[in-house]
Amino acid sequence: MTGKSRKREVLRILWGLLLALFVSNLSVTIVGNALPQIMAALDGSETQYTWIVTAVLLASTAATPIAGKLGDLFNKKALLLAAIGLFSLGSLLSGMVPNASWLIASRVLQGIGMGAQMALVQTVIASIVTPRERGQYNGYLGATMAVATVSGPLLGGLIVSTPWLGWRWTFWLSVPFSLIAIVVLWRYLKIPKSARLKPHIDYWGSALITAGVSLLLIWISCGGKIFPWVSPLGIGMPVAALLVLAIFVWVELHDPEPVVPLRLLTQRTPLLAVLASIGIGTALNAPPVFFGQYFQIAQGYSPALSGIIMVPLMLAMFLSSTISGQLVSHIGRWKRFVVTGLVAMSGGLIMMIWVGSVTPLWYIWIAMVLIGFGQGSSMQNLVLAVQNGVPLRDVGASTAMVTFFRSLGGAIGVQVAGIIYTISTEAHMESKVLAAGMPVSMVPDTDSLDITKMEPALQAIVRSAYGDAMGDIFMGIAVLGVLSLIAALFLPGSSLRDTLDLLPENDT
């Protein structure tokens, strides 16, 4: 096969992969601007508000390492098609739910398919192109994720603002595009079967990591609301989560085919890439979720306009990811792009700490551009750095490992940010109500998201409180961003190899 025909074949496959990746990432953020209306329609609470997003991230986080490992053991094409099909089913059911509890459940199904897709798409790319070529393709992947992450709120806002569509189409929109991706990949994707003679599935490891992460996130979400922090459940759940995760580590160290190959974490590049990815995941997933509340409740913009306001973030991520991917492939080195990106992202996150109810849009846009530029330049190049140093047989597991910790950072980040936002908003409302000479009993319950039914004076107080609480979310996220930068600074730079596999592995 000539170089041109091979590239044409790869690009044809890439369209299907990018389409699947786009709709799966879109499913996280498309509900951002639609959530206030979804919660009003389903009579949901503030706790359920964050769980609509966290359910997807939690399920995705748990499914990612499992799917990545299965991709190393079995047919990647069949697994990817099954993942897209599962995601489509979850999307279809999410648009049919009668209440918020059922929506959370269907989002779990959606998340499992999403996590499997994210791991397998990158594994498939790594199976058909060399790391040196992969830089530009990873740039396309990063650009696709960037567009999906930030265009989600825009599309969600437009959909809920269109009377003949409604919020249910924020979930149904993914289905036709997923089906197109299935057809394209079914027809064009050809990967040699990678099953080993006696493939071994780490059932215990898969179950333990799912249980441990789930317990931890449920504790973060429900603590202080459903049960006190200092109570048998408040103390017992994190202890149980840590115990389960400790058992998981023991199992992984003794399993011949661990779902998360911890031996990779003894190497400097995978370990530091994982640490850096946690902060990136938080900065990637948490802000778009709460920007919807900020622009609609605090600033009074419509859902559609709220999405348009976030376009600079999308454009910065898209351009940064695409251009850095091309440059990485051309130069053959990746570290300078990761470090530069994380410097910019950290700067943007620090700027967001000072955002309040009267912050001008130009200031927020500058911060958004810095955050978007940083994420686009660093996110996929960290995955590439890890893939470059492992043999082909470990590409699926190593890719899934970085994606897993990025998703975990995002899932925990959304929950913690939601708690901070709620506590801070309540504190601001109380102080503003008292300052206005109103009794404390006038402080509204944050579980009530429909402020249009409030009196004008109280409405103004609530809008101001939501705006002034926004900056508090970014204090913790900015700290994680700086820690990601520090981890990246200690990464050993390396040249991208021109072979599909490590040479010693080819000789065995």
Tell me the per-residue pLDDT of 240-254, one tens digit each, with 9 for 90 and over.
999 999 999 999 888
Residue 380: helix, strand or coil by DSSP? helix
Q: Please name which of 202, 203, 196, 213 lies closest in space to residue 261, comparing C-alpha atoms.
A: 202
- Residues linked to residue 84 through DSSP beta bridges, in sequence order: none
Q: What's the confidence (pLDDT) of residue 362?
A: 94
Name the residue with tokens 């190497």: 267
Q: Which residues of 95-133 are buried (b: 16+ CB within 10 A; e: fewer)?
A: bebeebeebbebbbbbbbbbbbbbbbbbbbbbbbbbbbb
Contact (Cβ atoms closer than 8 angstroms) between residue 41 and residue 102: no
Question: DSSP assignment, residue 413?
Answer: H
Nearest 5°: the CA angle 70, 384, 90 is: 45
Q: 42, 95 in Cβ contact below 8 A? A: no
Cβ contacts of 246 within 8 Å, gap of 6 or more: none
CB atoms inside a 10 Å sphere around CB 503: 9
Q: What is the pLDDT of residue 350?
A: 95
302/441: higher pLDDT = 302
Q: Do 328 and 136 form a contact (C-beta atoms < 8 A)? A: yes
pLDDT score at 407: 77
| pLDDT for position 57 | 72
Per-residue pLDDT for 279 more than 80? Answer: yes
Question: Which DSSP state fits 441?
Answer: G
Which residues, listed in sequence order, are joined to residue 495 by a DSSP beta bridge? 333
Rounded to whole angstroms, the Cα distance separating 252 from 367 reads 41
So what's the pLDDT on residue 345? 94
Q: How far apart (Å, rounded) are the C-alpha atoms in residues 116 and 64?
A: 5
Q: pTM of the entire structure?
A: 0.76
Q: Give Cα separations from 470 to 225, 296, 421, 501 (angstroms).
A: 21, 12, 7, 46
Looking at the predicted structure, is the pLDDT value of residue 208 above 60?
yes
Reference 404, options 205, 235, 190; nearest CA is 205
The pLDDT score that the predictor gives to residue 376 is 86
Q: Please state the separation of Cα 416 from the chain's center in Å.
A: 15
Percent of the chain with pLDDT over 70: 88
Instruction: Tell me which residue of 418, 411, 407 sits closest to 39, measured CA to CA.
Output: 418
d(CA 125, CA 397): 14
**Residue type at 92?**
L
Whole-number Å distance between alpha carbons of 486 and 237: 31
pLDDT in tens, 156-190: 878 887 778 888 888 898 899 899 989 988 988 87
For 262, the 3-state DSSP assignment is helix
Predicted local confidence at residue 282, as pLDDT = 87
**Which amino acid is present at 59?**
A
Q: Where are the domains of the chain?
A: 3-190+257-498, 202-256
Nearest to 64 by CA among 375, 411, 410, 405: 405
Residue 333 DSSP class: B
DSSP state of 33: T
Question: What does the pLDDT look like over 352-371, one tens digit per residue?
Answer: 999 988 899 999 999 999 99
* Whether the Cβ atoms of residue 182 and residue 84 lie closer than 8 Å to each other: yes
Assign domain 3-190+257-498 to its CATH superfamily: MFS general substrate transporter like domains (1.20.1250.20)
Report whether 487 contacts 272 (CB < 8 A): yes
Would you say how long the chain is, in residues? 508
Measured distance CA(449)–CA(39) in Å, rounded: 8
- Please give the mean pLDDT across all residues of the chain: 81
Instruction: Assess contact for 444 and 454: CB atoms under 8 A.
Output: yes
The per-residue pLDDT for range 424-433, each reduced to its tens digit, is: 888 888 888 8
At residue 151, what are phi and psi to the nearest 5 degrees?
Answer: -80, -15
AA identity, residue 2: T
Q: What are 223's strand-pairing partners? A: 227
For residue 451, give the amino acid letter.
I
Over residues 16-68, the pLDDT tens digits come to: 888 888 888 787 777 766 777 788 788 777 667 767 777 777 788 778 777 87
Token readout for 116 is 């499997």
Please state the separation of Cα 298 from the chain's center in Å: 25
Instruction: Please provide residue 236's backbone torsions phi and psi, each rounded to the nearest 5 degrees.
Output: -70, -35
Q: Where are the beta strands (DSSP E) in 321-472?
A: none
Rounded Cα gap, residues 106 and 103, in angstroms: 5
State the average pLDDT over residues 277-292.
Answer: 82
Helix (H), strand (E) counts: the chain:
18, 0
pLDDT digits (tens, 9 = 90+) for 100-145: 888 988 988 998 998 888 888 877 887 777 776 766 777 777 778 7
For residues 101 and 90, give the distance between their C-alpha atoms in angstroms, rounded to a whole number.
Answer: 14
